[in-house]
Structure 1
Amino acid sequence: MPLVDEPERRRGQGYYTACSIRITVLGGSLEVGDGGFTDWTARLSGDAKERCLVSCLATERLVDCAGR
């Protein structure tokens, strides 16, 4: 699985605070998931040291993969 650095990315900026991931299939033509670090728990708890890493897979897009 290749790891590609995209420092100029616009996707997820303002939502993910630091690094983020994008999960694609079919040679990168279909995005099926994403994730990254957020500041939700730090803001809710008032603790700047709090860290939260979230991710998801879009099951409806995985179904699309089966049909291709």
Structure 2
Amino acid sequence: MAALDEKLLQILVCPVDRGPLVHTDDVLYNPRLRRAYRIDEGIPVLLADEARQVEDDDEHARLAGSA
């Protein structure tokens, strides 16, 4: 898992809905929109057009922390 500063995680938001993100695996995840933003070499890539849509319910549950 990429190490991100806790203070940074508290201020980062989804660029689409401005809501909070969940840090899991090597992504920042928006469970409301089911969008996963990758982290490249410790740098979050928070570009709306670079996000991956999570269609699988099991993956969504795992990323959202409810699995």
| TM-score under structure 2 length normalisation | 0.25
> Which of structures 1 and 2 has the bigger CA Rg?
1
Task: Select the structure that is richer in strand.
Answer: 1
Structure with the higher fraction of residues in helix conformation? 2
TM-score by length of 1: 0.25
